[in-house]
A and B are shown apart, each in its own frame.
Chain A
């Protein structure tokens, strides 16, 4: 099996040199295109073959030379996943090129460069050697600079120049990083580098410097936010299939993939890098989306949206890295971290599919109408039904609308971030909240695209538009189907074959083994993490627990201090949630909104804790840590699990030096019994009681002020609703009123400590959001009719 690995690079590389010759011999464009398509199909077949044994790591030593001399190609779970994505997208874009590129000259050069780029990307992904990654990066880079400039108009040339210069800076940084790493470790093979770092006392200053160079270099390649300047020029300037390749896979293979590989596998388990990735990812996510909103050029809008979506991937993967670094021996945190990594990789796949689709659609539209300015396009939905529907599917998928894959990956990322916030550090709420906000912004600008391009009466440019040729339609339709089909990845059987091996590669590498002492302890833990039902427990455990909380929260009549999460019920709820995620019906399944709400639910404890003075326990009685055997026990109740989670993880480091005892952190407000017990234990501690009483007073005062302000604003809104001269005025006022009610519910929740107010708030927020949009849409439609 390992003999086929080099073919992944060799086939397209041979194509890169063979096809220009064929292009010379034959004048026919289509004849030239046949060989590249066949070659890409060959790569796809090999990628699928490799996935037959997803967990197996295939190592091929070039020329039969082994370790100290040879150069290796490594196909492990992560590489196989990315190679598959690259192969699928390149086959479809080549199919699209078959018709689209007939408007350009020299097809031989185009396909030759395309194949070189493909070889470079696959080379980056399967190379086991950090310097070879650099070489393949440059091969892919040079081919893509030339392809961006392929139109040789001034725009294309400028964009290509800018892309080239910034990319060359990135390459120089990467090379310097390689030099640092080589100097410190004396190795270039990344597996060996990881080994040296792991056994040789962890990270030293030069390695941090190397990591900084790598993050700048690969950050430039991946176009995360401070380094994104080239992307909005380069990606729109290229021919549409190349834009699809660049945005769909190149920034991922050359940027995100290598960042993941380095951060997890090479530099090991370190939260600093994870934190940097989360920050960069969140920035790109938000700023990319905000910049996309104002764009008038369809392809430019798509390019900014790529920055935003790659931000999701980087943030999720970085969060997973932080989580794994903090996890040590905490199983729930490790599971949540892996969930985040899974979400990130899943979103990477999804983004490759829908962004290529959107770029191909933009190419079809440009070919049919001669423009890609949004204000000159309209009414294409009727003129070009196939492209129109594909564009619609792509836009819905990228905005995260339920049946499509994009919804699930975003949901998983958000849930995982919220989980990490609850388990590891509150600061994860920031990326989680921003991810939700960005999803809404994404929905807004893709709604704009759909309305402007597809809706309305045909504009002048769209008058003569005809549906594009069959090959282009087929490529779009297949990608549109893939947008829907990628939702299947959440099924355990599909996931365990495709994405889980990749997650495992990353999490195993970044597992708590950076220090030799922990390595010994982590071995049994690693086994425990993936027990009998391989891959299944992963989600079951997490969603199960989330859902248990949900059941507790939705039980309005729960009463405080009553133990309501009994095992049987919780388990049923958990199964229902799993059934939802896996798309299968289950007994007593709850609607999908429940899963969503349960994702947001971890916000509640923090809010509630702030408002309830009695719950704030500065110091609780020491409490024995669970012996490992107990935690492993199959009949452990979920209630216990929840307590463990909250206690261990609010203060992961709050452990006594002897290791046998741990101090409980602030107790989970849902742990009613624990809270009460703790308070009783504290009864004699007057100091603490006075402290908490004072704080309670302060909190109450603030709540009072907040409530008064909200009421005042509500009255002003009511006035505006009554007075408002135009309908939009009234709509805005209604929307604000809805928001104020949400705020009021939050205050009530803090005041009374009843968390069902929070559920009302969330439900009301959703209703108010949807209601306002519906109302605004209705009014807008009326204006158009007038």
Chain B
């Protein structure tokens, strides 16, 4: 385990925290927060995978601006753009899933008057 591994491990740690929240918490909202953490952890991990250090200088964002030296230079110095494109998609998906799960939680609150999963029939355990 080198120092370079630390960010990856931290990202996976967030994943585990999210899992813990989902498994251990009784409150629907906390479960949803756990879900968000899980989602963010996966996205963060994906972005970290795309990070790379160029031969010289600091890495730059993969955006070709007017003042830049050119595509080849950018390609040599930029981080991998593909994971960033992927997490854009993933974030949109995460947004819609979150919207749906919050809507479900609101509906459940209307039915039961509580967010406590212990008081719901199917969600125990």
B105 within 8 A of partner (CB): yes
Contact A179/B45 with A154-B108, A157-B108, A161-B28 known, Cβ cut-off 8 Å: yes
CA distance A174 to B30 in the complex (A): 23
B35, A161: Cβ atoms under 8 Å?
A: no
Q: Which residues on B sit within 8 Å (CB–CB) of A173?
A: 42
Q: Are A158 and B120 in contact (CB under 8 A)?
A: yes
Contact A142 B96 (CB under 8 A): yes
B108 and A158 form a contact (CB under 8 A): yes
Q: Chain B residue with minimal CB distance to A152?
A: B107
A183 in contact (CB, < 8 A): yes
Q: How far is the CA of A64 from the CA of B63 in the complex (A)?
A: 24
A145 interface hit (Cβ, 8 Å): yes
Considering the chains assembled together, what is the distance between the CA atoms of A179 and B50 in angstroms? 9
> What sequence of 0s and 1s flags, for each residue 29-70 of chain B, a beta carbon within 8 Å of any chain A beta carbon?
001000100110111011001000000000000000000000
Q: Which of B12, B90, B123 contacts A161 (CB 8 A)?
A: B123
Stretch from A163-171, A349-357, A387-395 contacting the other chain: A163-171
Knowing A154-B112, A154-B121 are in contact, say whether A161-B101 is a contact too (CB < 8 A).
yes
Does B19 count as interface, using CB distance less than 8 angstroms? Answer: yes
Category for how many chain B residues contact A: 35 or more
**In the complex, A746 Cα to B64 Cα: how many Å?**
78
Q: How far is the CA of A162 from the CA of B120 in the complex (A)?
A: 11
A316 interfacial by beta-carbon distance below 8 Å: no
Interface centre among A138, A149, A165, A183, by most chain B C-beta atoms within 10 angstroms, is: A165
Q: Which of B42, B101, B108, B112 contacts A175 (CB 8 A)?
A: B42
Is A178 an interface residue when CB atoms closer than 8 A count as contact? yes
**Which residues does chain A contribute within 8 Å of B45, judged by CB atoms?**
175-176, 179
Residue B79 is within 8 A (CB to CB) of chain A in the complex: no
- State the Cβ distance, A501 to closest chain B Cβ, in Å: 32
Nearest A residue to B122 via CB reads A158
Q: Is the CB of B39 within 8 A of A168?
A: yes
Q: Give the residue of B38, B49, B83 whose beta carbon is less than 8 angstroms from that of A172.
A: B38
The residue from B19, B41, B43, B101 contacting A164, defined by CB atoms under 8 A apart: B101
Query: Is chain B's binding surface mostly helix, strand, loop or mixed?
Result: helix
Given A154-B108, A160-B104, A182 and B97 contact (CB-CB distance below 8 Å): no
A233 sits at the interface (CB 8 A): yes
Q: Which residues of B contact A138 (CB under 8 A)?
A: 93, 97
Choice from B41, B89, B107, B122 contacting A135 with Cβ under 8 Å: B89
Point out the residues of chain B lying under 8 angstroms from A179, CB to CB. 42, 45-46, 49, 83
A233 in contact with B122 given A157-B104, A172-B39, A176-B15 (CB within 8 Å): yes
Assess whether A131 is interfacial by the CB under 8 Å rule. yes
Interface flag for A457 (CB, 8 Å): no
Q: How many A residues, CB 8 Å from partner?
A: 34
Smallest Cβ-Cβ distance to B35: which chain A residue = A168
Residues of chain B lying within 8 A (CB to CB) of residue A141 = 97
Q: Closest residue of chain B to A132, judged by CB?
A: B89
Q: Mark B1-35, 1 if CB is under 8 A from A, else 0.
A: 00000000000100100110010000010010001
B83 and A182: CB pair below 8 A? yes
A184–chain B nearest beta-carbon distance, Å: 10
Contacts of A161 in B (CB 8 A): 28, 101, 104-105, 108, 123
User: Does A146 make an interface contact (CB < 8 A)?
Assistant: yes
| Chain A, Cβ-Cβ closest to B34 | A165
CA–CA, A149 and B100, complex, Å: 10
The interface bits of chain A over 179-216 (1 if a CB of B lies within 8 angstroms of the residue's CB, else 0) are 11011000010000000000000000000000000000
* Residue from the list A131, A135, A142, A154 in contact with B97, Cβ < 8 A: A142
How far apart sit A188 and B35, CA to CA, in the bound complex (Å)? Answer: 25
Closest to B101 in A: A164
CA A175 – CA B41 in complex, angstroms? 10
Min distance, Cβ B92 to any Cβ of chain A, angstroms: 9
Please name all residues of chain A whose beta carbon is closer than 8 Å to the beta carbon of B28 when the two chains form the complex: 161
Inside 8 A of A175's CB, which chain B residues have their CB? 42-43, 45-46, 90
In the assembled complex, the Cα of A175 lies from the Cα of B86 at a distance in Å of: 10
Name which residue of chain A comes closest to B19, CB basis: A169
- How many Å from the CB of A22 to the closest CB on chain B? 22
Tell me, in angstroms, the Cα distance from A93 to B14 when the chains sit together: 41
Task: Give bound CA distance, A183 to B122, whole Å.
Answer: 39
Q: Convert B86-123 into 0s and 1s, putting 1 for each residue whose CB lies closer than 8 angstroms to a CB of A.
A: 10011001001100110011011001100000001111
Task: Choose among A135, A145, A162 the residue that contacts B100 (Cβ–Cβ < 8 A).
Answer: A145
Min distance, Cβ B48 to any Cβ of chain A, angstroms: 8
CA A252 – CA B19 in complex, angstroms? 25
Given the contacts A138-B97, A149-B104, A154 and B111 also touching, CB distance less than 8 Å: yes
Question: In whole angstroms, what is the CA distance A172 to B49 when docked?
Answer: 15
- A371 CB, min distance to chain B CBs, angstroms: 18
- A237 CB to nearest B CB, Å: 8
Contact assessment for A165 and B31 in the assembled complex, using a CB-CB cutoff below 8 Å: yes
Kindly list chain B residues whose C-beta atoms are within 8 Å of the C-beta of A233. Answer: 122
Query: Nearest Cβ distance between residue A732 and chain B, in whole angstroms?
Result: 36
State in angstroms the CA–CA spacing of A780 and B9 once bound together: 63
Determine whether the beta carbon of B42 is less than 8 Å from that of A172: yes
Most A CB within 10 A of own CB, among B18, B43, B89, B104? B104
User: Whose C-beta in chain B lies nearest to the C-beta of A229?
Assistant: B125
Contact A162 B123 (CB under 8 A): yes
**Please, how many angstroms separate the alpha-carbon atoms of A182 and B82 in the complex?**
10
**Residues in A neighbouring B49, C-beta threshold 8 A:** 179-180, 182-183
The answer, yes or no, to whether A467 is at the interface (CB within 8 Å) is: no
Inter-chain CA distance A172–B90, complex, in Å, is: 10
Bound-state CA distance A280–B108 (Å) is 34
Q: Enumerate chain A residues within 8 angstroms of B111, measured Cβ to Cβ.
A: 154, 157
The reply on A366 being an interface residue by CB < 8 A is no
A315 within 8 A of B: no
Q: How far is the CB of A656 from chain B (nearest CB, A)?
A: 42
With both beta carbons as reference points, the residue of chain B lying nearest to A209 in the complex is identified as: B12
Given contacts A135-B89, A175-B90, A176-B45, contact A168 B38 (CB under 8 A): yes
Q: Confirm or deny: A644 has a beta carbon within 8 angstroms of a beta carbon on chain B.
A: no
Q: How far is the CB of A171 from the nearest CB of chain B, in Å? A: 8
* Docked complex: A108-159 residues within 8 A CB-CB of B: 131, 134-135, 138, 141-142, 145-146, 149, 152, 154-155, 157-159
The docked-state distance in angstroms from the alpha carbon of A179 to that of B18 is 18
User: In the complex, what distance in Å separates the CA atom of A296 from the CA atom of B22?
Assistant: 30
Residues in B whose Cβ lies below 8 Å from that of A160: 104
Residue numbers in B under 8 Å from A158 (CB-CB): 108, 120-123
- Complex CA–CA separation, A331 to B90 (angstroms): 45
User: How far apart are the CA atoms of A149 and B107 in the complex, in Å?
Assistant: 10
Q: Smallest CB–CB gap between B11 and chain A, Å? A: 9
**Which A residues form the contact surface with B (CB < 8 A)?**
131, 134-135, 138, 141-142, 145-146, 149, 152, 154-155, 157-162, 164-165, 168-169, 171-173, 175-176, 178-180, 182-183, 188, 233
A-B contact pairs, 5 of them (CB 8 A): A164-B100, A169-B35, A175-B42, A178-B86, A182-B82
Known contacts A154-B111, A164-B101; 20 additional CB pairs below 8 A are A145-B104, A154-B112, A158-B122, A160-B104, A161-B28, A161-B105, A161-B108, A164-B97, A165-B101, A168-B38, A168-B101, A169-B22, A172-B18, A172-B38, A175-B43, A175-B90, A176-B41, A179-B45, A183-B49, A188-B82
Measured CB to CB, the residues of B under 8 A from A are: 12, 15, 18-19, 22, 28, 31, 35, 38-39, 41-43, 45-46, 49, 82-83, 86, 89-90, 93, 96-97, 100-101, 104-105, 107-108, 111-112, 120-123
Smallest CB-CB A-B distances: 8 pairs: A175-B42, A158-B122, A172-B38, A154-B111, A179-B46, A183-B49, A172-B42, A138-B93
